């Protein structure tokens, strides 16, 4: 294995990013180059014109941040050069399986193949020439496929935590990057202060308590970015149309056919959108798929007729947020009362934890804080709910919206307000 830098990339967020030989070989592979044609934020450019950055820039930036974290940890823990290289490669590959339009594709998969981009990333690493590159350079493709999604079996779980979780390099790249390209201010946080404060204790990442303010700023920035960008009502309008178009056309275009990785990796944003807008309208489903894709392309979007933002704590999960049958029943009820076709109604309930999950996909509940007491270093496990600022957003941010066409907007708004203010309905559904 060689860990010497052989080339560098100029990045608008992090400055110069240096690459080793194995990193350059992976970056030059068609599987990483494909990510240049997958938008980082799917339909966000419909609202924020600058948000045309791609998964490619993000994975390179995540690799850089992961390396910074690993190097910072060497001051308090024996992190070897080989370990640093492994975590950089894993970070570089963590999104290699993302489908067209990023997380929008996963919404299509949920109803069909029930796979995530992480599972597909593992397959790309194991089943394509990415595996050959890794093995040729002295890395186990099996180990790297696990580490890339934060699931490596190791006595050193902090390696997984660097790639995925509440202190991940992933988040510390996408927040400042998405903020930069959208032009909003929320993601501008001092990630370097967080990185410099990290330590390894009992195999896990912790931070110095003196950097608590920077850590809180990071989580608050994530929360604000979800509200202002990722779940912006017009962004979601565009994405809902695109998701439904892909769902309707899937049987013809084979978008969720994951049996052939080579075929799957041909699916990029431009390719899929072109296939959708040039569909032969041989039946009603394909006509509707083509109409929605054209509406997305030309920014003729459905309108938000109703919105309610709710905060729920863990354990208090309403049916409407987790049960597709409950959402379908609600749409049918609205359709009946408005005489609008269910196909012209969109009930959108994107949910996300207000704070990120851990690398093991559990709720991120506590943070390890190191402090000095009587000249001795003391570790405290502090619940996020006890932190002054983060405690106020702990739990889940639920945004419930109803979309429809401009023509139906007024009538749907009236019925949605009636339904979602009905105490009996709310008691049953939320």
Q: Kindly state whether residue 274 falls inside one of the protein's structural domains.
A: no
Q: How far does Cα 246 stand from its chain's mean position?
A: 19
CB neighbourhood size of 228 (10 A): 18
Q: Kindly state whether residue 416 falls inside one of the protein's structural domains.
A: yes
Phi, psi of 167 (to 5 degrees): -125, 35
Question: To the nearest 10°, the Cα dihedral for 328, 332, 333, 337?
Answer: 150
Are β-strands 303-312 and 396-404 bridged in parallel, bridged antiparallel, or unpaired?
antiparallel
Q: Kindly state whether residue 157 falls inside one of the protein's structural domains.
A: yes
Domain boundary among 178, 204, 233: 233
Same domain, yes or no, for 115 and 29? Answer: yes
> What pLDDT is stored for residue 349 in this prediction?
85
Q: Kindly state whether residue 332 falls inside one of the protein's structural domains.
A: yes
Same domain, yes or no, for 313 and 223? Answer: no
Q: Which residues of the chain have pLDDT under 70?
A: 1-3, 111-114, 310-318, 351, 354, 359-361, 363, 391-392, 394-397, 430
What pTM was estimated for this model as a whole? 0.92
Same domain, yes or no, for 40 and 133? Answer: yes
Q: Kindly state whether residue 368 falls inside one of the protein's structural domains.
A: no
Q: Which three-class secondary structure state does DSSP give residue 319?
A: helix
> What pLDDT is stored for residue 394 in this prediction?
65
CB 397 within 8 A of CB 352: yes
Domain boundary among 198, 233, 268: 233
Residue carrying structure tokens 């041989």: 282
Same domain, yes or no, for 219 and 311? Answer: no
> What pLDDT is stored for residue 316 in this prediction?
46
Domain boundary among 233, 262, 288: 233
Same domain, yes or no, for 98 and 199? Answer: yes
CATH number for the domain harbouring residue 57: 1.10.3210.10
Report which secondary-structure segment, H or E, holds 276. helix 269-277
Q: Kindly state whether residue 333 falls inside one of the protein's structural domains.
A: yes
CB 205 within 8 A of CB 162: yes
DSSP per residue over 79-91, as a string? --HHHHHHHHHHH
CATH number for the domain harbouring residue 329: 3.30.1370
How far, in Å, CA of 304 to CA of 302, rounded?
A: 7
Q: How far does Cα 245 stand from its chain's mean position?
A: 21
> What pLDDT is stored for residue 96 in this prediction?
94
How far, in Å, CA of 255 to CA of 293, rounded?
A: 15
* Domain region containing 119: 5-233
Q: Which three-class secondary structure state does DSSP give residue 241?
A: helix
> What pLDDT is stored for residue 314 in this prediction?
46
Same domain, yes or no, for 57 and 174? Answer: yes
How far, in Å, CA of 36 to CA of 15, rounded?
A: 19
Q: Kindly state whether residue 387 falls inside one of the protein's structural domains.
A: no
How far, in Å, CA of 177 to CA of 182, rounded?
A: 9
Same domain, yes or no, for 71 and 220? Answer: yes
Question: In the numeric block, which tokens belong to residue 328?
Answer: 């379908």
Same domain, yes or no, for 312 and 196? Answer: no
Same domain, yes or no, for 186 and 330? Answer: no
Same domain, yes or no, for 190 and 48? Answer: yes
Same domain, yes or no, for 205 and 337? Answer: no
Same domain, yes or no, for 75 and 174? Answer: yes
Total number of domains in the chain: 2
DSSP per residue over 186-223, as a string? TT---HHHHHHHEEEETTEEEEEGGGHHHHHHHHHHHH
What distances in angstroms separate CA 354 from CA 212, 225, 348, 351, one per listed residue?
Answer: 18, 11, 18, 9
């Amino acid at each position: 294995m060689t860990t010497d830098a052989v080339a560098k990339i100029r990045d608008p967020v992090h400055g110069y990013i240096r690459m080793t030989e194995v990193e350059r070989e992976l970056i030059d592979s068609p599987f990483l180059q494909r990510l240049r044609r997958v938008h980082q934020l799917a339909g966000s450019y419909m609202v924020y014109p600058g948000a045309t950055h791609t998964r490619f820039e993000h994975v390179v930036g995540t690799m850089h941040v992961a390396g910074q974290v690993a190097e910072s940890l060497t001051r308090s823990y024996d992190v070897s050069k080989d370990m640093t290289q492994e975590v950089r490669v894993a970070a570089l590959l963590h999104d290699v399986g993302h489908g067209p339009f990023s997380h929008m594709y996963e919404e299509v998969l949920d109803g069909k193949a029930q796979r995530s981009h992480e599972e597909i990333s593992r397959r790309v690493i194991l089943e394509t020439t990415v595996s050959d590159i890794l093995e040729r350079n002295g890395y186990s493709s099996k180990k790297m496929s696990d580490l890339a999604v934060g699931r490596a079996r190791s006595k050193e779980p902090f390696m997984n935590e660097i790639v995925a979780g509440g202190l991940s390099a992933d988040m510390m790249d996408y927040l400042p990057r998405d903020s930069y390209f959208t032009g909003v201010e929320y993601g501008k946080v001092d990630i370097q202060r967080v990185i410099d404060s990290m330590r390894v204790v009992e195999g896990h990442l912790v931070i110095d308590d003196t950097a608590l303010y920077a850590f809180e700023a990071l989580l608050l920035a994530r929360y604000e970015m979800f509200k202002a960008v990722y779940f912006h009502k017009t962004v979601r309008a565009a994405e809902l149309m695109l998701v439904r178009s892909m769902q309707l056309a899937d049987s013809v275009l084979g978008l969720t056919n994951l049996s052939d990785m080579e075929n799957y990796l041909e699916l990029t944003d431009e390719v899929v959108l072109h296939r959708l807008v040039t569909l032969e309208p041989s039946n009603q489903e394909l006509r509707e798929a083509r109409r929605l894709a054209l509406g997305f392309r030309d920014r003729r979007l459905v309108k938000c007729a109703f919105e309610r933002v709710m905060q729920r704590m863990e354990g208090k999960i309403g049916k409407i947020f987790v049960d597709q049958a409950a959402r379908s029943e609600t749409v049918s009820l609205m359709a009946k009362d408005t005489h609008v076709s269910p196909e012209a109604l969109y009930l959108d309930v994107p949910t996300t934890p207000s704070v990120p999950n851990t690398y093991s996909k559990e709720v991120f509940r506590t943070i390890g804080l190191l402090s000095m007491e009587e000249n001795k270093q003391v570790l405290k496990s502090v619940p996020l709910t006890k932190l002054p600022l983060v405690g106020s957003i702990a739990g889940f941010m639920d945004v419930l919206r109803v979309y429809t066409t401009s023509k139906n907007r007024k009538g749907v708004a009236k019925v949605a307000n009636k339904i979602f203010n009905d105490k009996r309905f709310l008691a049953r559904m939320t």
